[in-house]
Structure 1
Protein backbone atom coordinates (compact mmCIF):
# COMPACT_ATOMS: atom_id res chain seq x y z
CA UNK A 1 0.00 0.00 0.00
CA UNK A 2 1.36 3.40 -0.98
CA UNK A 3 1.66 6.30 1.45
CA UNK A 4 -1.12 8.16 -0.43
CA UNK A 5 -3.45 5.15 -0.25
CA UNK A 6 -2.79 4.85 3.47
CA UNK A 7 -3.66 8.52 4.01
CA UNK A 8 -6.88 8.21 1.96
CA UNK A 9 -7.91 5.09 3.89
CA UNK A 10 -7.30 6.84 7.21
CA UNK A 11 -9.31 9.89 6.10
CA UNK A 12 -12.19 7.64 5.00
CA UNK A 13 -12.08 5.91 8.38
CA UNK A 14 -12.23 9.26 10.19
CA UNK A 15 -15.20 10.35 8.05
CA UNK A 16 -17.06 7.16 8.97
CA UNK A 17 -16.27 7.70 12.65
CA UNK A 18 -17.48 11.32 12.46
CA UNK A 19 -20.70 10.24 10.74
CA UNK A 20 -21.33 7.64 13.44
CA UNK A 21 -20.67 10.26 16.13
CA UNK A 22 -23.06 12.76 14.52
CA UNK A 23 -25.78 10.13 14.11
CA UNK A 24 -25.43 9.16 17.75
CA UNK A 25 -25.51 12.77 18.85
CA UNK A 26 -28.70 13.50 16.93
CA UNK A 27 -30.43 10.14 17.25
CA UNK A 28 -34.18 10.37 16.58
CA UNK A 29 -36.43 8.95 19.27
CA UNK A 30 -39.49 6.93 18.35
CA UNK A 31 -41.46 8.02 21.40
CA UNK A 32 -41.33 11.62 20.17
CA UNK A 33 -42.11 10.66 16.57
CA UNK A 34 -38.90 12.31 15.39
CA UNK A 35 -37.75 12.39 11.77
CA UNK A 36 -34.98 14.91 11.11
CA UNK A 37 -34.88 16.89 7.87
CA UNK A 38 -31.84 16.23 5.69
CA UNK A 39 -29.68 19.34 5.09
CA UNK A 40 -30.09 19.01 1.31
CA UNK A 41 -33.79 19.86 1.68
CA UNK A 42 -33.47 22.59 4.30
CA UNK A 43 -33.11 25.57 1.95
CA UNK A 44 -36.15 24.49 -0.06
CA UNK A 45 -38.23 24.29 3.10
CA UNK A 46 -37.02 27.68 4.36
CA UNK A 47 -37.85 29.20 0.97
CA UNK A 48 -41.34 27.67 1.27
CA UNK A 49 -41.71 29.29 4.70
CA UNK A 50 -40.81 32.64 3.08
CA UNK A 51 -39.38 34.47 6.13
CA UNK A 52 -38.91 38.24 6.11
CA UNK A 53 -36.14 40.18 7.92
CA UNK A 54 -38.45 41.76 10.51
CA UNK A 55 -40.37 38.55 11.31
CA UNK A 56 -40.60 36.94 14.73
CA UNK A 57 -40.84 33.14 14.52
CA UNK A 58 -41.79 30.20 16.68
CA UNK A 59 -40.22 26.93 15.50
CA UNK A 60 -41.84 23.73 16.74
CA UNK A 61 -39.55 20.72 17.02
CA UNK A 62 -36.14 22.06 15.92
CA UNK A 63 -34.42 18.71 16.45
CA UNK A 64 -30.74 19.08 15.44
CA UNK A 65 -31.33 22.62 14.18
CA UNK A 66 -31.25 21.99 10.43
CA UNK A 67 -33.99 24.60 9.90
CA UNK A 68 -33.26 26.64 13.01
CA UNK A 69 -29.96 28.20 11.97
CA UNK A 70 -31.13 28.91 8.43
CA UNK A 71 -34.41 30.44 9.58
CA UNK A 72 -32.77 32.50 12.35
CA UNK A 73 -30.33 33.98 9.83
CA UNK A 74 -33.24 35.46 7.88
CA UNK A 75 -35.50 36.81 10.65
CA UNK A 76 -35.37 39.24 13.57
CA UNK A 77 -36.10 36.77 16.36
CA UNK A 78 -36.73 33.04 16.75
CA UNK A 79 -37.98 30.91 19.64
CA UNK A 80 -37.56 27.14 19.30
CA UNK A 81 -39.75 24.76 21.32
CA UNK A 82 -38.26 21.29 21.79
CA UNK A 83 -39.80 18.54 23.94
CA UNK A 84 -36.64 16.39 23.90
CA UNK A 85 -34.37 17.72 26.67
CA UNK A 86 -31.27 15.98 25.34
CA UNK A 87 -31.67 17.43 21.86
CA UNK A 88 -32.38 20.87 23.29
CA UNK A 89 -29.25 20.74 25.46
CA UNK A 90 -27.08 19.84 22.48
CA UNK A 91 -28.57 22.44 20.15
CA UNK A 92 -28.72 25.40 22.56
CA UNK A 93 -24.96 26.24 22.61
CA UNK A 94 -24.92 26.62 18.82
CA UNK A 95 -27.94 28.92 18.59
CA UNK A 96 -27.31 32.38 17.11
CA UNK A 97 -27.84 35.45 19.34
CA UNK A 98 -31.34 36.15 17.99
CA UNK A 99 -32.61 32.64 18.86
CA UNK A 100 -33.60 31.07 22.15
CA UNK A 101 -34.62 27.57 23.26
CA UNK A 102 -37.73 26.65 25.24
CA UNK A 103 -37.78 23.06 26.51
CA UNK A 104 -41.46 22.12 26.62
CA UNK A 105 -44.34 20.31 24.98
CA UNK A 106 -45.91 22.85 22.64
CA UNK A 107 -49.36 21.48 23.49
CA UNK A 108 -48.90 22.64 27.09
CA UNK A 109 -47.49 26.10 26.28
CA UNK A 110 -49.63 29.24 26.25
CA UNK A 111 -48.58 31.01 23.06
CA UNK A 112 -50.37 34.26 23.89
CA UNK A 113 -47.48 35.84 25.89
CA UNK A 114 -45.17 35.25 22.91
CA UNK A 115 -47.30 37.62 20.84
CA UNK A 116 -46.96 40.55 23.26
CA UNK A 117 -44.07 42.01 21.24
CA UNK A 118 -45.84 41.69 17.91
CA UNK A 119 -47.06 39.13 15.39
CA UNK A 120 -45.62 35.64 15.72
CA UNK A 121 -45.24 33.41 12.68
CA UNK A 122 -44.94 29.65 13.16
CA UNK A 123 -42.88 26.99 11.40
CA UNK A 124 -41.91 23.46 12.27
CA UNK A 125 -41.46 19.79 11.55
CA UNK A 126 -44.43 18.29 13.38
CA UNK A 127 -44.21 14.78 14.86
CA UNK A 128 -46.53 12.54 12.84
CA UNK A 129 -48.36 11.12 15.84
CA UNK A 130 -49.38 14.50 17.26
CA UNK A 131 -49.67 16.73 14.18
CA UNK A 132 -53.46 17.15 14.31
CA UNK A 133 -53.55 18.25 17.99
CA UNK A 134 -50.79 20.77 17.26
CA UNK A 135 -52.75 22.12 14.27
CA UNK A 136 -55.82 22.59 16.47
CA UNK A 137 -53.66 24.24 19.14
CA UNK A 138 -52.34 26.74 16.58
CA UNK A 139 -55.83 27.47 15.26
CA UNK A 140 -57.12 28.19 18.75
CA UNK A 141 -54.09 30.34 19.61
CA UNK A 142 -54.45 32.33 16.38
CA UNK A 143 -58.17 32.79 16.99
CA UNK A 144 -57.63 33.92 20.57
CA UNK A 145 -54.65 36.23 20.07
CA UNK A 146 -55.29 37.51 16.52
CA UNK A 147 -51.50 37.85 16.38
CA UNK A 148 -50.42 34.62 14.66
CA UNK A 149 -50.71 35.33 10.93
CA UNK A 150 -49.64 31.96 9.62
CA UNK A 151 -48.05 28.57 10.25
CA UNK A 152 -45.92 26.67 7.73
CA UNK A 153 -45.40 23.11 8.89
CA UNK A 154 -44.08 19.76 7.69
CA UNK A 155 -46.35 16.81 8.28
CA UNK A 156 -47.40 13.46 6.85
CA UNK A 157 -48.78 13.79 3.30
CA UNK A 158 -51.95 11.94 4.33
CA UNK A 159 -52.63 14.59 6.98
CA UNK A 160 -51.87 17.37 4.50
CA UNK A 161 -54.43 15.94 2.09
CA UNK A 162 -57.03 15.85 4.85
CA UNK A 163 -56.27 19.49 5.68
CA UNK A 164 -56.81 20.72 2.12
CA UNK A 165 -59.69 18.35 1.26
CA UNK A 166 -62.76 19.82 -0.43
CA UNK A 167 -66.40 19.02 0.26
CA UNK A 168 -67.60 15.71 -1.16
CA UNK A 169 -64.17 14.06 -1.28
CA UNK A 170 -63.05 11.02 0.70
CA UNK A 171 -60.58 13.07 2.78
CA UNK A 172 -63.13 15.77 3.69
CA UNK A 173 -63.90 15.61 7.39
CA UNK A 174 -63.34 17.10 10.84
CA UNK A 175 -59.75 18.21 10.20
CA UNK A 176 -60.58 19.99 6.93
CA UNK A 177 -63.71 21.66 8.28
CA UNK A 178 -62.29 22.95 11.57
CA UNK A 179 -59.09 24.11 9.87
CA UNK A 180 -60.63 25.73 6.80
CA UNK A 181 -63.11 27.55 9.02
CA UNK A 182 -60.21 29.61 10.40
CA UNK A 183 -57.47 29.41 7.74
CA UNK A 184 -56.67 29.30 4.06
CA UNK A 185 -54.70 26.08 3.61
CA UNK A 186 -52.13 25.52 0.85
CA UNK A 187 -49.71 22.69 0.16
CA UNK A 188 -46.48 24.38 -0.88
CA UNK A 189 -44.02 21.49 -1.10
CA UNK A 190 -44.04 17.68 -1.22
CA UNK A 191 -41.14 15.80 0.39
CA UNK A 192 -40.04 12.22 -0.37
CA UNK A 193 -39.21 9.78 2.44
CA UNK A 194 -35.52 10.32 1.67
CA UNK A 195 -35.79 13.94 2.81
CA UNK A 196 -35.72 12.73 6.43
CA UNK A 197 -33.57 10.66 8.75
CA UNK A 198 -34.56 8.08 9.80
CA UNK A 199 -36.46 7.61 6.56
CA UNK A 200 -40.24 7.37 7.19
CA UNK A 201 -42.39 4.92 5.24
CA UNK A 202 -44.58 7.70 3.88
CA UNK A 203 -44.22 10.95 1.97
CA UNK A 204 -44.51 14.30 3.70
CA UNK A 205 -45.66 17.78 2.75
CA UNK A 206 -45.09 21.38 3.72
CA UNK A 207 -48.42 23.10 4.32
CA UNK A 208 -49.14 26.76 4.98
CA UNK A 209 -52.10 27.81 7.12
CA UNK A 210 -52.88 31.50 6.67
CA UNK A 211 -55.11 32.34 9.62
CA UNK A 212 -58.07 34.71 9.22
CA UNK A 213 -61.49 35.45 10.77
CA UNK A 214 -64.01 32.58 10.44
CA UNK A 215 -65.19 31.96 6.89
CA UNK A 216 -68.80 31.80 8.11
CA UNK A 217 -70.71 32.73 11.25
CA UNK A 218 -71.00 29.46 13.18
CA UNK A 219 -72.80 30.84 16.22
CA UNK A 220 -71.72 28.88 19.28
CA UNK A 221 -68.20 27.45 18.79
CA UNK A 222 -68.72 24.46 21.09
CA UNK A 223 -71.98 23.45 19.43
CA UNK A 224 -70.42 23.66 15.97
CA UNK A 225 -67.37 21.57 16.88
CA UNK A 226 -69.42 18.91 18.68
CA UNK A 227 -71.82 18.72 15.73
CA UNK A 228 -69.02 18.23 13.20
CA UNK A 229 -67.22 15.62 15.29
CA UNK A 230 -70.45 13.68 15.88
CA UNK A 231 -71.79 13.50 12.33
CA UNK A 232 -68.42 12.63 10.79
CA UNK A 233 -68.09 9.52 12.92
CA UNK A 234 -71.01 8.28 10.79
CA UNK A 235 -70.17 9.94 7.50
CA UNK A 236 -71.72 7.22 5.32
CA UNK A 237 -75.13 7.48 6.96
CA UNK A 238 -77.73 10.00 5.90
CA UNK A 239 -77.37 13.31 7.69
CA UNK A 240 -80.69 12.63 9.43
CA UNK A 241 -79.43 9.42 11.03
CA UNK A 242 -75.94 10.77 11.69
CA UNK A 243 -77.48 13.75 13.49
CA UNK A 244 -79.68 11.81 15.91
CA UNK A 245 -76.95 11.06 18.54
CA UNK A 246 -76.22 14.79 18.73
CA UNK A 247 -79.71 16.30 18.49
CA UNK A 248 -81.90 13.97 20.52
CA UNK A 249 -79.98 14.22 23.85
CA UNK A 250 -80.45 18.01 23.53
CA UNK A 251 -84.18 17.58 23.07
CA UNK A 252 -83.95 18.75 19.46
CA UNK A 253 -85.79 17.18 16.53
CA UNK A 254 -83.13 16.44 13.87
CA UNK A 255 -85.60 16.46 10.98
CA UNK A 256 -86.94 19.87 12.01
CA UNK A 257 -83.43 21.32 12.43
CA UNK A 258 -82.44 20.10 8.97
CA UNK A 259 -85.58 21.53 7.39
CA UNK A 260 -85.04 24.92 9.02
CA UNK A 261 -81.42 24.91 7.82
CA UNK A 262 -82.59 24.11 4.29
CA UNK A 263 -80.76 20.76 4.14
CA UNK A 264 -82.17 17.62 2.51
CA UNK A 265 -82.24 14.94 5.21
CA UNK A 266 -81.21 12.26 2.69
CA UNK A 267 -77.80 13.80 2.07
CA UNK A 268 -74.63 12.49 3.70
CA UNK A 269 -72.44 14.51 6.11
CA UNK A 270 -69.51 14.64 3.68
CA UNK A 271 -71.62 16.64 1.19
CA UNK A 272 -72.25 19.54 3.58
CA UNK A 273 -70.11 22.64 3.14
CA UNK A 274 -69.10 25.12 5.83
CA UNK A 275 -72.09 27.39 5.24
CA UNK A 276 -74.56 24.50 5.59
CA UNK A 277 -72.86 23.09 8.68
CA UNK A 278 -72.92 26.54 10.29
CA UNK A 279 -76.63 26.96 9.54
CA UNK A 280 -77.38 23.53 11.01
CA UNK A 281 -75.36 24.25 14.16
CA UNK A 282 -77.24 27.51 14.68
CA UNK A 283 -80.64 25.82 14.28
CA UNK A 284 -79.64 23.17 16.83
CA UNK A 285 -78.35 25.78 19.28
CA UNK A 286 -81.60 27.73 19.22
CA UNK A 287 -83.88 27.21 22.19
Structure 2
Protein backbone atom coordinates (compact mmCIF):
# COMPACT_ATOMS: atom_id res chain seq x y z
CA UNK A 1 0.00 0.00 0.00
CA UNK A 2 2.79 2.45 0.86
CA UNK A 3 4.19 1.91 -2.64
CA UNK A 4 0.95 3.33 -4.07
CA UNK A 5 1.35 6.72 -2.39
CA UNK A 6 5.11 6.73 -1.84
CA UNK A 7 4.63 7.63 1.84
CA UNK A 8 6.43 5.86 4.69
CA UNK A 9 4.84 3.01 6.72
CA UNK A 10 2.57 4.18 9.53
CA UNK A 11 4.86 2.90 12.28
CA UNK A 12 7.62 5.14 10.89
CA UNK A 13 5.17 8.08 10.68
CA UNK A 14 4.23 7.62 14.35
CA UNK A 15 7.89 7.43 15.40
CA UNK A 16 8.88 10.47 13.31
CA UNK A 17 6.12 12.69 14.67
CA UNK A 18 5.95 11.27 18.21
CA UNK A 19 2.28 10.31 17.99
CA UNK A 20 1.80 7.77 20.77
CA UNK A 21 -1.91 6.91 21.08
CA UNK A 22 -3.64 8.77 23.91
CA UNK A 23 -6.21 6.94 26.01
CA UNK A 24 -7.89 10.25 26.89
CA UNK A 25 -8.72 10.76 23.19
CA UNK A 26 -9.97 7.19 22.74
CA UNK A 27 -7.14 6.51 20.29
CA UNK A 28 -6.18 3.07 19.01
CA UNK A 29 -4.27 3.33 15.74
CA UNK A 30 -4.75 0.84 12.92
CA UNK A 31 -1.31 0.56 11.32
CA UNK A 32 -1.85 -2.13 8.68
CA UNK A 33 -2.40 -0.27 5.41
CA UNK A 34 -3.90 -3.41 3.85
CA UNK A 35 -6.64 -3.30 6.50
CA UNK A 36 -7.27 0.42 6.12
CA UNK A 37 -7.61 -0.10 2.35
CA UNK A 38 -10.09 -2.91 3.03
CA UNK A 39 -12.21 -0.57 5.17
CA UNK A 40 -12.08 2.06 2.43
CA UNK A 41 -13.26 -0.51 -0.13
CA UNK A 42 -16.13 -1.53 2.17
CA UNK A 43 -17.49 2.01 1.69
CA UNK A 44 -18.10 1.28 -2.01
CA UNK A 45 -17.06 3.29 -5.06
CA UNK A 46 -15.65 6.56 -3.70
CA UNK A 47 -14.51 8.05 -7.01
CA UNK A 48 -17.44 10.45 -7.28
CA UNK A 49 -17.87 11.21 -3.59
CA UNK A 50 -16.60 13.53 -0.88
CA UNK A 51 -15.71 11.59 2.28
CA UNK A 52 -15.88 12.83 5.87
CA UNK A 53 -13.39 11.10 8.17
CA UNK A 54 -13.44 11.70 11.93
CA UNK A 55 -10.32 11.04 14.01
CA UNK A 56 -7.83 10.15 11.25
CA UNK A 57 -4.87 10.02 13.67
CA UNK A 58 -1.66 9.40 11.70
CA UNK A 59 -3.73 8.90 8.52
CA UNK A 60 -3.85 5.18 7.81
CA UNK A 61 -7.50 5.15 6.75
CA UNK A 62 -7.06 8.57 5.11
CA UNK A 63 -4.44 7.08 2.82
CA UNK A 64 -6.72 4.13 2.08
CA UNK A 65 -9.60 6.43 1.14
CA UNK A 66 -7.44 8.55 -1.16
CA UNK A 67 -5.76 5.54 -2.77
CA UNK A 68 -9.21 4.03 -3.40
CA UNK A 69 -10.11 7.15 -5.37
CA UNK A 70 -12.14 9.39 -3.05
CA UNK A 71 -12.80 12.67 -4.83
CA UNK A 72 -12.01 14.55 -1.63
CA UNK A 73 -11.44 13.62 2.02
CA UNK A 74 -12.30 16.04 4.82
CA UNK A 75 -10.47 14.83 7.93
CA UNK A 76 -11.48 16.26 11.33
CA UNK A 77 -8.73 15.72 13.92
CA UNK A 78 -8.70 16.93 17.53
CA UNK A 79 -5.08 15.93 18.25
CA UNK A 80 -2.68 18.61 16.98
CA UNK A 81 0.22 16.10 17.12
CA UNK A 82 -1.28 14.34 14.08
CA UNK A 83 -1.47 17.44 11.86
CA UNK A 84 2.10 17.27 10.44
CA UNK A 85 1.58 13.64 9.39
CA UNK A 86 -1.74 14.54 7.74
CA UNK A 87 -0.06 17.49 5.99
CA UNK A 88 2.38 15.04 4.39
CA UNK A 89 -0.54 13.02 3.02
CA UNK A 90 -2.19 16.20 1.71
CA UNK A 91 1.03 17.03 -0.15
CA UNK A 92 1.03 13.57 -1.74
CA UNK A 93 -2.58 14.03 -2.91
CA UNK A 94 -2.75 17.69 -4.01
CA UNK A 95 -6.19 19.26 -3.64
CA UNK A 96 -7.87 16.09 -2.37
CA UNK A 97 -7.33 16.20 1.41
CA UNK A 98 -8.57 18.98 3.68
CA UNK A 99 -7.77 18.74 7.38
CA UNK A 100 -9.69 20.59 10.08
CA UNK A 101 -8.32 20.68 13.61
CA UNK A 102 -11.15 20.49 16.10
CA UNK A 103 -13.80 18.44 17.88
CA UNK A 104 -16.13 16.55 15.51
CA UNK A 105 -18.98 17.09 17.99
CA UNK A 106 -18.65 20.87 17.56
CA UNK A 107 -17.85 21.25 13.85
CA UNK A 108 -20.30 21.53 10.94
CA UNK A 109 -18.46 19.75 8.11
CA UNK A 110 -21.12 20.47 5.49
CA UNK A 111 -19.56 23.84 4.64
CA UNK A 112 -16.54 21.91 3.36
CA UNK A 113 -18.25 19.06 1.49
CA UNK A 114 -20.10 18.61 -1.80
CA UNK A 115 -22.72 15.88 -2.35
CA UNK A 116 -22.66 12.96 -2.72
CA UNK A 117 -21.15 12.54 0.76
CA UNK A 118 -20.03 9.37 2.51
CA UNK A 119 -18.79 9.13 6.07
CA UNK A 120 -15.97 6.65 6.71
CA UNK A 121 -14.15 6.58 10.04
CA UNK A 122 -12.32 4.54 12.63
CA UNK A 123 -14.19 6.47 15.29
CA UNK A 124 -12.56 7.33 18.61
CA UNK A 125 -14.27 4.96 21.07
CA UNK A 126 -15.30 7.76 23.43
CA UNK A 127 -17.47 9.65 20.88
CA UNK A 128 -18.45 6.93 18.39
CA UNK A 129 -21.99 6.20 19.54
CA UNK A 130 -22.85 9.88 20.05
CA UNK A 131 -21.74 10.74 16.52
CA UNK A 132 -23.69 7.82 15.06
CA UNK A 133 -26.89 8.92 16.82
CA UNK A 134 -26.43 12.46 15.48
CA UNK A 135 -25.95 11.18 11.92
CA UNK A 136 -29.07 8.99 12.23
CA UNK A 137 -31.29 11.78 13.59
CA UNK A 138 -31.04 14.80 11.27
CA UNK A 139 -34.02 17.16 11.08
CA UNK A 140 -34.68 16.13 7.48
CA UNK A 141 -34.54 12.65 5.93
CA UNK A 142 -32.95 11.46 3.68
CA UNK A 143 -29.75 12.83 5.23
CA UNK A 144 -26.89 14.65 3.48
CA UNK A 145 -24.82 11.44 3.56
CA UNK A 146 -25.38 8.36 1.40
CA UNK A 147 -23.65 5.85 3.65
CA UNK A 148 -21.74 5.44 6.90
CA UNK A 149 -18.83 2.99 7.15
CA UNK A 150 -17.75 3.12 10.77
CA UNK A 151 -15.57 1.15 13.13
CA UNK A 152 -16.86 0.51 16.65
CA UNK A 153 -16.18 -1.79 19.54
CA UNK A 154 -17.63 -5.14 18.36
CA UNK A 155 -20.24 -5.02 21.12
CA UNK A 156 -21.56 -1.67 19.82
CA UNK A 157 -21.54 -2.94 16.22
CA UNK A 158 -23.62 -5.95 17.30
CA UNK A 159 -26.12 -3.62 18.97
CA UNK A 160 -26.54 -1.71 15.69
CA UNK A 161 -27.45 -4.82 13.65
CA UNK A 162 -29.27 -6.77 16.41
CA UNK A 163 -32.63 -8.46 15.84
CA UNK A 164 -35.61 -8.73 18.23
CA UNK A 165 -35.24 -11.32 20.96
CA UNK A 166 -31.47 -10.94 21.28
CA UNK A 167 -29.67 -9.39 24.25
CA UNK A 168 -28.03 -6.80 22.00
CA UNK A 169 -31.39 -5.59 20.62
CA UNK A 170 -32.36 -2.16 21.85
CA UNK A 171 -32.63 1.53 21.03
CA UNK A 172 -29.53 1.64 18.83
CA UNK A 173 -30.76 -1.24 16.63
CA UNK A 174 -34.16 0.39 16.17
CA UNK A 175 -32.70 3.82 15.47
CA UNK A 176 -30.28 2.47 12.86
CA UNK A 177 -32.57 -0.04 11.18
CA UNK A 178 -35.59 2.29 10.96
CA UNK A 179 -33.81 4.46 8.41
CA UNK A 180 -30.87 2.38 7.17
CA UNK A 181 -29.72 -0.94 5.84
CA UNK A 182 -27.08 -1.99 8.41
CA UNK A 183 -24.57 -4.83 8.29
CA UNK A 184 -21.21 -5.76 9.80
CA UNK A 185 -18.63 -5.96 7.00
CA UNK A 186 -15.39 -6.60 8.89
CA UNK A 187 -14.28 -7.79 12.33
CA UNK A 188 -10.82 -6.95 13.69
CA UNK A 189 -8.92 -8.50 16.62
CA UNK A 190 -7.24 -6.35 19.32
CA UNK A 191 -3.75 -7.06 17.93
CA UNK A 192 -4.62 -5.20 14.70
CA UNK A 193 -4.32 -1.95 16.72
CA UNK A 194 -1.61 -0.02 18.51
CA UNK A 195 -2.03 -0.10 21.44
CA UNK A 196 -4.24 -3.24 21.38
CA UNK A 197 -7.62 -2.51 23.04
CA UNK A 198 -9.12 -5.09 25.39
CA UNK A 199 -11.94 -5.85 22.95
CA UNK A 200 -12.53 -6.83 19.32
CA UNK A 201 -13.66 -4.17 16.85
CA UNK A 202 -16.03 -4.32 13.91
CA UNK A 203 -16.83 -2.16 10.90
CA UNK A 204 -20.52 -1.46 10.23
CA UNK A 205 -21.76 -0.25 6.85
CA UNK A 206 -25.06 1.68 6.95
CA UNK A 207 -26.80 2.74 3.76
CA UNK A 208 -29.44 5.46 4.09
CA UNK A 209 -32.91 4.41 2.93
CA UNK A 210 -34.85 7.00 0.87
CA UNK A 211 -37.46 7.03 3.64
CA UNK A 212 -37.97 5.18 6.94
CA UNK A 213 -39.10 1.55 6.70
CA UNK A 214 -42.39 2.30 8.47
CA UNK A 215 -44.14 5.65 9.03
CA UNK A 216 -43.77 7.17 12.50
CA UNK A 217 -43.07 10.54 14.08
CA UNK A 218 -39.36 10.42 15.06
CA UNK A 219 -39.85 12.15 18.43
CA UNK A 220 -42.79 9.93 19.44
CA UNK A 221 -41.02 6.77 18.27
CA UNK A 222 -37.94 7.75 20.26
CA UNK A 223 -40.06 8.36 23.37
CA UNK A 224 -41.83 5.00 23.11
CA UNK A 225 -38.62 3.08 22.41
CA UNK A 226 -36.72 4.85 25.20
CA UNK A 227 -39.45 4.10 27.75
CA UNK A 228 -39.62 0.47 26.68
CA UNK A 229 -35.89 -0.18 26.90
CA UNK A 230 -35.18 1.94 29.98
CA UNK A 231 -36.95 -0.82 31.90
CA UNK A 232 -36.43 -3.68 29.48
CA UNK A 233 -37.18 -6.42 32.04
CA UNK A 234 -40.67 -5.05 32.62
CA UNK A 235 -43.73 -5.85 30.54
CA UNK A 236 -44.88 -3.14 28.13
CA UNK A 237 -47.95 -2.36 30.25
CA UNK A 238 -45.57 -1.29 33.05
CA UNK A 239 -42.61 0.17 31.15
CA UNK A 240 -44.80 2.32 28.86
CA UNK A 241 -47.35 3.32 31.51
CA UNK A 242 -46.22 6.95 31.67
CA UNK A 243 -45.94 7.54 27.90
CA UNK A 244 -49.62 8.39 27.26
CA UNK A 245 -53.09 7.97 28.83
CA UNK A 246 -54.76 4.55 28.39
CA UNK A 247 -51.45 3.10 27.32
CA UNK A 248 -52.51 -0.53 27.70
CA UNK A 249 -55.39 0.01 25.25
CA UNK A 250 -52.98 1.67 22.81
CA UNK A 251 -50.60 -1.30 23.06
CA UNK A 252 -53.47 -3.66 22.20
CA UNK A 253 -54.63 -1.38 19.36
CA UNK A 254 -51.14 -1.62 17.86
CA UNK A 255 -51.50 -5.40 17.79
CA UNK A 256 -49.02 -5.95 20.62
CA UNK A 257 -49.37 -7.94 23.83
CA UNK A 258 -49.26 -5.77 26.99
CA UNK A 259 -47.37 -8.64 28.68
CA UNK A 260 -44.58 -8.59 26.06
CA UNK A 261 -41.22 -6.97 26.79
CA UNK A 262 -39.53 -4.34 24.63
CA UNK A 263 -36.86 -6.74 23.36
CA UNK A 264 -39.60 -8.92 21.80
CA UNK A 265 -41.15 -6.08 19.78
CA UNK A 266 -40.16 -5.61 16.14
CA UNK A 267 -39.39 -2.26 14.55
CA UNK A 268 -42.73 -2.45 12.74
CA UNK A 269 -44.50 -3.00 16.06
CA UNK A 270 -42.85 0.00 17.70
CA UNK A 271 -43.72 2.19 14.69
CA UNK A 272 -47.37 1.06 14.82
CA UNK A 273 -47.49 1.92 18.53
CA UNK A 274 -45.84 5.32 17.92
CA UNK A 275 -48.51 6.17 15.32
CA UNK A 276 -51.32 5.32 17.76
CA UNK A 277 -49.69 7.35 20.54
CA UNK A 278 -49.23 10.31 18.17
CA UNK A 279 -52.90 10.12 17.15
CA UNK A 280 -53.85 10.54 20.81
Deviation at 1:21, TM superposition (A): 6.8
Q: In structure 2, what is the Cα distance between the partners aligned to 1:275 and 1:20?
A: 49
Residue in structure 2 matched with residue 228 of structure 1 by the alignment: 225
1:125 aligns with 2:139: no
> If the length of structure 1 is used for normalisation, what is the TM-score?
0.85
Deviation at 1:140, TM superposition (A): 2.6
Q: In structure 2, what is the Cα distance between the partners aligned to 1:111 and 1:246?
A: 36
Residue in structure 2 matched with residue 7 of structure 1 by the alignment: none
Using a 3 Å threshold, how does the CA distance of structure 1 residues 100 and 182 change in structure 2: closer, same or farther? same
Residue in structure 1 matched with residue 202 of structure 2 by the alignment: 205
Between the two proteins, the alignment pairs up a number of residues equal to 264
Residue in structure 1 matched with residue 79 of structure 2 by the alignment: 84
Q: In structure 1, what is the Cα distance between the partners aligned to 2:14 and 2:221?
A: 52
Q: In structure 2, what is the Cα distance between the partners aligned to 1:33 and 1:128?
A: 5
**2:80–2:101 CA contact under 8 A, matched in 1:** yes
1:113 aligns with 2:111: yes
Q: In structure 2, what is the Cα distance between the partners aligned to 1:93 and 1:208?
A: 29
Candidates 99, 121, 142, aligned match of 2:97: 99
Which runs of structure 2 are paired with 1:170-249 in the superposition (5 Å)? 170-212=167-209, 213-218=211-216, 220-247=217-244
What secondary structure does 1:149 align onto?
A: strand
Bigger shift: residues 25-34 or 145-154: 145-154
Bigger shift: residues 262-271 or 101-110: 101-110
Residue in structure 1 matched with residue 160 of structure 2 by the alignment: 163
Structure 2 portions without partners, runs of 5+: 1-10
Deviation at 1:108, TM superposition (A): 1.9
Q: In structure 2, what is the Cα distance between the partners aligned to 1:255 and 1:88?
A: 56
Residue in structure 2 matched with residue 54 of structure 1 by the alignment: 48
* Per-residue CA distance 1:70-124 (angstroms, 9 max, x = gap): 2113221111111222223442243222111011222222344345x32101100
Candidates 245, 261, 268, aligned match of 2:261: 268
* More helix by percentage: 1
Using a 3 Å threshold, how does the CA distance of structure 1 residues 20 and 225 change in structure 2: closer, same or farther? closer
Deviation at 1:195, TM superposition (A): 0.9
Residue in structure 2 matched with residue 285 of structure 1 by the alignment: 278
Structure 1 portions without partners, runs of 5+: 1-17
Which runs of structure 2 are paired with 1:139-158 in the superposition (5 Å)? 139-141=136-138, 143-144=140-141, 146-158=143-155
> If the length of structure 2 is used for normalisation, what is the TM-score?
0.87
What secondary structure does 2:198 align onto?
A: coil
Bigger shift: residues 38-47 or 162-171: 38-47
